[in-house]
Amino acid sequence: MESAEDWLVESLRLYQDFHAFDLSGATRVLEWMGDKGILVAGYESLKKNEILHLILPLRLSVKENQGLFPERDFKVRHGGFSDRSVFALKHVPDTRLLVTSGLPGCYLQVWQVAEDTDVIKAVSTIDVHETEGSLWSRVAIFSSAAPGVLHGVRLSSLKVVDLESQKTTYTSGVGDSELLSSLQVLDADTFAFCCTSGRLGLVDTRQKGLQGAQEGACSLVISLAPAVKVAHRKAPGFDGTVQVYDVTSWDGMWGRVDPLFTHRGHIFLDDNGVDTAPLVTTHTWHPDKPRTLLSAASDASLHVWDWVDLRASC
Amino acid sequence: MLLSHVVHTAATEVCFPSPLSVLQGEGPRASCGAGAGQDVGRSCILVSIGGKNVMLDCGMHMGFSDDRRFPDFSYITRNGRLTDFLDCVIISHFHLDHCGALPYFSEMVGYDGPIYMTQPTQAICPILLEDYRKIAVDKKGEANFFTSQMIKDCMKKVVAVHLHQTVQVDDELEIKAYYAGHVLGAAMFQIKVGSESVVYTGDYNMTPDRHLGAAWIDKCRPNLLITESTYATTIRDSKRCRERDFLKKVHETVERGGKVLIPVFALGRAQELCILLETFWERMDLKAPIYFSTGLTEKANHYYKLFIPWTNQKIRKTFVQRNMFEFKHIKAFDRAFADSPGPMVVFATPGMLHAGQSLQIFRKWAGSERNMVIMPGYCVQGTVGHKILSGQRKLEMEGRQVLEVKMQVEYMSFSAHADAKGIMQLVGQAEPENVLLVHGEAKKMEFLKQKIEQEFRVSCYMPANGETVTLSTSPSIPVGISLGLLKREMAQGLLPDAKKPRLLHGTLIMKDSNFRLVSSEQALKELGLAEHQLRFTCRVHLHDTRKEQETALRVYSHLKSVLKDHCVQHLPDGSVTVESILIQAAAHSEDPSTKVLLVSWTYQDEELGSYLTSLLKKGLPQAS
């Protein structure tokens, strides 16, 4: 594959480090469990999907003497089977619990990651009252001594449920049936929501109703790098690339902004040889390494890459 | 290692399915220090199949430098000699964690039976063993180690095998080697006794690399497939990314004017890396020289000529066209070049930096931080390679000289191993009934077990170290059926139906480990026996005042009308026959109004005979 070879040669210049893996099934989720493990899950509709807890290769976890660690592979530390497609997966911090959302059936599944074996077991469910069968609930976690699960299909059905007691601690109390596209917890009392219409809003769970809504603001998924003020915009389903932007350089004018870096690995390393290039399904930042990202695509590939900031060399 | 469980021995001479048991040697996966990052175990598995005992691999644990590195065979030797107990030993490839304990096992513990391995393994093993012995004894001053003579004596017991060649170990046990990829000469082995078989994978690789092909096995459907559990829990970084990392390191060093030293063993990996660099140098139009130490070239060429069937298609093609090591950008090294200024890359032996040219070059280049050494494999304790991989930066050399290592040290693993996906592929190819994963921690691997069981509908076992696994097999016993018997069955008119079982009468003769199904007559003839005839006679009393002849006639008419599907005859002597059943009427000796019907039939006609009897007991219809 000529283009793959070319891209690899190019990659010597573009990336500090680069790893490419083939999962047994494509994932739409990449969730950290601690700083050394990630969780992935399948989303196929007619077969059993796997939920895997993967431990990062040692090389990516150590801070010094990287060169002395030849191990470049992921280890499957835990695994479980899900009969449903998994579209969202959240780890409840400081616990061994996971919450997933998917189809068919509009409910959330709670899982336990075993300590003495390699099993991820389904332990309980959280009801989501939604009659339309093709919709799945978005999920976010309020982490605290008593963790709460924020979920909802529509603005009207937004709820926070206490994980242990299963009691509802918050409801949106609005009648608006707009569909949600994502939820993000900001602190112990606040979360942000984004609707499929593009409406963006903030909610303080101590107050009634929804605050600060803005139209047409969130059509793309944004994630913020933990260590550095760099924003990453990914266009889900748009193409097979991942783009990195630096928000600190934006002066408030919403004009055309060029990405700092574009990761094209999923397109060029696609071994399937089919005409349709794979689409990037999800991405996440490494918690400790400022320029390391993990990205997954619809062809079951999983990349871990550390891009070179070409500005820095000038 | 403790062989702490009894091994099942064979059943009787008749082919009852005997339990197939596998005893796995202790092979703790040890990480020897943060710097070394070496993940080594020890392979040594004992399989009992159909009454035969086979040892698979005889590795040593390189993490230990005392007796713990060798397996403990005392459990078997307690009950007798190893030679008497074992039918053969099979070595999968030349890596020390698979063959390192072989001379100890054969010469110090004592085993004189055959040791099977492929030709490349046979050629390379003694070299590695000798190297290892030298390091252990000369560098580390170890006692109770095998000698050079022992290595030679051990190798005399080796029988080399070819790929896909069935080797008869004895008249019941046969083995066959399959291509495993991984390293030159590595093989997977099928062990067969009668209709029971086991496949042991050793180390293998499912994706081809630049100089070796991918492992392959046919749909041999063994009762058991034995493979490594660590594969199943690994998701491997792609080969391209590993190569990329290597190229990047070499390129960066060369770009800043530094020198790159790559210590290699004579074969395999060196070949792979050379091809890679050559391709890259060509594409990037790089000018820095790449050298290959001459000792390597000669040895490697020699070996490659011998083992060309073991490399992949591409290499085989190019070898026909030109010399293996005729690279455009790679030249023969001269000692003097090490002192030349400017960037360069050098491949030199030996691989662990423990002596010779690679160590010489290392000493010259270690002092500069612009330079780099890339260690492509595991290094035995005591070698300079091991020390620098453990993070040591000050080395004590001969004459108490201290060498400060400022050059960059990189440890890269180029070993080609299968992973979770690869294991599934292999299981899909071979279609075993059961899968056994060794060197894992059984309690921890329930998910993995479920995954394999679900995907392939096989049973998956994961014994803990020192544990025995026993499997019941149902071997199918082939039985030859005589043509005469088949013909007779066909003549009965009914066509065979694949869905309906058909009852066949015959005699099963077991002779000389052979099973045949023949007709009874033929069996009697062969065995020289006379056939016994069994006839049943039943008396049925009827009230009939007429003469016997008339009674017989009545019987005849009655049976003729009732038994429309059977041949009913009235013979001249008065008796009636229904098929081969005979009915005779006689007067009762004491009561003239009673007639006695004698119904007589052979054993074969029992069903009809019984039916007739009960029919007659019901009485005859009144004469019209």
Residue A126 domain-assigned (yes or no): yes
Confidence of residue B6 (pLDDT cuts 50, 70, 90): very low
The tokens describing B441, both together, are 């921690």
Q: Please tell me if residue A48 touches chain B, with a CB cutoff of 8 Å.
A: yes
Q: Does residue B356 carry a pLDDT above 70? A: yes
Residues 6 or more apart whose Cβ sits within 8 Å of residue B352: B131, B135, B263, B379, B380, B383, B384, B385, B386
Q: Does residue B305 carry a pLDDT above 80? A: no
Cβ pair A41, A84 in contact under 8 A: no
Q: Please tell me if residue A306 touches chain B, with a CB cutoff of 8 Å.
A: no
Supply the pLDDT for residue B403: 93
DSSP string, B363-399: HHHTT-TT-EEEE-S---TTSHHHHHHTT--EEE-GG
Selected residue of A53, A72, A116 to mutate for chain B interface (largest B Cβ count, 10 A): A72
Looking from the CA of A141 toward its CB, the CA atoms found within 13 Å total 23
The mean pLDDT value for A280-306 works out to 90
DSSP string, B154-221: HHTTEEEE-BT-EEESSSSEEEEEEE--SSTT-EEEEEEETTEEEEE--S--SS--SSS---------
The tokens describing A302, both together, are 């999983």
From the list B264, B274, B259, the residue with the least C-alpha distance to B338 is B259
From the list A109, A65, A52, A67, the residue with the least C-alpha distance to A84 is A109
Among candidates B234, B409, B446 on the partner chain, residue whose Cβ is nearest the Cβ of A75:
B234
Are B448 and A76 a contacting pair at CB < 8 A? Answer: yes
Residue A115 domain-assigned (yes or no): yes
Q: Please tell me if residue A54 touches chain B, with a CB cutoff of 8 Å.
A: yes
Cα separation, B72 vs B1, in Å, equals: 5
Residue A37 domain-assigned (yes or no): yes
The mean pLDDT value for A192-219 works out to 76
Estimate the share of chain B in helix, then strand, then coil, as percent rounded to the nearest 5. Answer: 35, 25, 40
Query: How many A×B Cβ pairs under 8 Å?
Result: 114
Q: What is the pLDDT of residues B434-477, one digit of tens each?
A: 999 887 665 678 898 899 898 889 999 887 766 778 888 777 77
* Cβ atoms within 10 Å, residue A6: 12
Cα separation, B126 vs B121, in Å, equals: 9
Cα separation, B480 vs B511, in Å, equals: 12
Range in A246-250, A286-290, B196-200, B400-404 the model is least confident about: A246-250
Supply the pLDDT for residue B442: 59
A59 to chain B: closest CA residue: B37
Residue A229 domain-assigned (yes or no): yes
**Mean pLDDT over the full length of chain B:** 82
The mean pLDDT value for A206-218 works out to 68
Cβ pair B464, B27 in contact under 8 A: no
Supply the pLDDT for residue B12: 14
Q: Does residue B178 carry a pLDDT above 90? A: yes
Selected residue of B238, B239, B283, B417 to mutate for chain A interface (largest A Cβ count, 10 A): B238
Distance from CA of A105 to the nearest CA of B (A): 24
Predicted model pTM: 0.78
Distance from CA of A122 to the nearest CA of B (A): 13
From the list B366, B361, B314, B415, the residue with the least C-alpha distance to B93 is B415
Q: What percent of chain B has pLDDT over 90?
A: 39
Distance from CA of A240 to the nearest CA of B (A): 19
B569's enclosing H/E stretch is strand B568-570
Cα separation, B437 vs B463, in Å, equals: 7
Burial of B56 (0-12, 13-18, 19+ CB in 10 A): buried
Q: Please tell me if residue A107 touches chain B, with a CB cutoff of 8 Å.
A: no
* Cβ atoms within 10 Å, residue B105: 25
Amino acid identity for residue B74 in this structure:
S
Selected residue of A1, A10, A69 to mutate for chain B interface (largest B Cβ count, 10 A): A69
What range does the domain containing A73 cover?
Answer: 4-136+220-313
Residue A185 domain-assigned (yes or no): no
Q: Does residue A228 carry a pLDDT above 60? A: no
- Alpha helix positions (H), A49-131: 58-61
From the list A179, A140, A147, the residue with the least C-alpha distance to A162 is A147
A62 to chain B: closest CA residue: B34
Supply the pLDDT for residue B188: 97
From the list B126, B273, B297, B143, the residue with the least C-alpha distance to B210 is B273
Q: How far is CA B496 from the centre of its chain?
A: 38
Are B235 and A5 a contacting pair at CB < 8 A? Answer: no
Residue numbers in A near B39 (CB within 8 A)? 71
Supply the pLDDT for residue B4: 19
Selected residue of B231, B235, B374, B412 to mutate for chain A interface (largest A Cβ count, 10 A): B235
Supply the pLDDT for residue B318: 57
Supply the pLDDT for residue B258: 96
Confidence of residue B40 (pLDDT cuts 50, 70, 90): very low
Chain B residues near any Cβ of chain A (below 8 Å):
34-37, 39, 232-238, 240-245, 247-248, 251, 280, 283-284, 389, 391, 408-413, 419-421, 424, 443-448, 450-451, 454
DSSP string, A251-299: -S--S----SEEE-HHHHT--S--SSPP-EEEEEE-SS-TTEEEEEETT
Q: What is the pLDDT of residues B405-428, one digit of tens each?
A: 999 999 988 777 888 888 889 999
Q: Does residue A123 carry a pLDDT above 60? A: yes
If one counts the domains in chain A, the total is 1
Amino acid identity for residue B378 in this structure:
Y
Q: What is the pLDDT of residues B475-521, one digit of tens each?
A: 777 889 988 888 887 787 666 677 787 787 888 988 887 889 998 88
DSSP reduced 3-state for B400: helix
Supply the pLDDT for residue B28: 28
The mean pLDDT value for B285-314 works out to 74
Distance from CA of B452 to the nearest CA of A (A): 12
Q: Please tell me if residue A313 touches chain B, with a CB cutoff of 8 Å.
A: no
Residue numbers in B near A67 (CB within 8 A)? 408-411
Q: Does residue B250 carry a pLDDT above 60? A: yes
Residue numbers in B near A70 (CB within 8 A)? 37, 411-413
Q: What is the pLDDT of residues A30-87, one digit of tens each?
A: 999 998 999 999 999 888 999 999 999 988 888 777 888 888 999 999 999 999 999 9
Task: Give me the catalytic one of B196, B228, B272, B489.
Answer: B228
Supply the pLDDT for residue B38: 29
DSSP reduced 3-state for A58: helix
Q: What is the pLDDT of residues B516-554, one digit of tens each?
A: 999 888 888 888 988 888 889 999 998 888 888 888 999
Supply the pLDDT for residue B19: 43
Residue A286 domain-assigned (yes or no): yes
Residue A165 domain-assigned (yes or no): no
Indicate if B228 belongs to the active site: yes
Q: Which of A195-204, B23-32, B250-259 has the highest mean pLDDT?
A: B250-259
Residue A210 domain-assigned (yes or no): no
Q: How far is CA B211 from the centre of its chain?
A: 24
Among candidates A5, A11, A19 on the partner chain, residue whose Cβ is nearest the Cβ of B237:
A19
The tokens describing B191, both together, are 């062990």
A69 to chain B: closest CA residue: B37
Residue numbers in A near B251 (CB within 8 A)? 12
In this prediction, the answer to ipTM > 0.90 reads no
Q: Does residue B371 carry a pLDDT above 90? A: yes
**Mean pLDDT over the full length of chain A:** 84
* pLDDT: which is higher, A232 or B180: B180
Supply the pLDDT for residue B63: 66
Are B421 and A67 a contacting pair at CB < 8 A? Answer: no
Q: What is the pLDDT of residues B79-111, one digit of tens each?
A: 778 898 999 999 999 988 899 999 999 999 899
A47 to chain B: closest CA residue: B455
Q: What is the pLDDT of residues B578-600, one digit of tens each?
A: 988 999 998 888 888 889 999 99
Confidence of residue B346 (pLDDT cuts 50, 70, 90): very high
* pLDDT: which is higher, B115 or B304: B115
Cα separation, B509 vs B496, in Å, equals: 24
DSSP string, B276-321: HHHHHHHHHT--S-EEEEHHHHHHHHHHHHHHGGGS-HHHHHHHHH
Cα separation, A39 vs A62, in Å, equals: 20
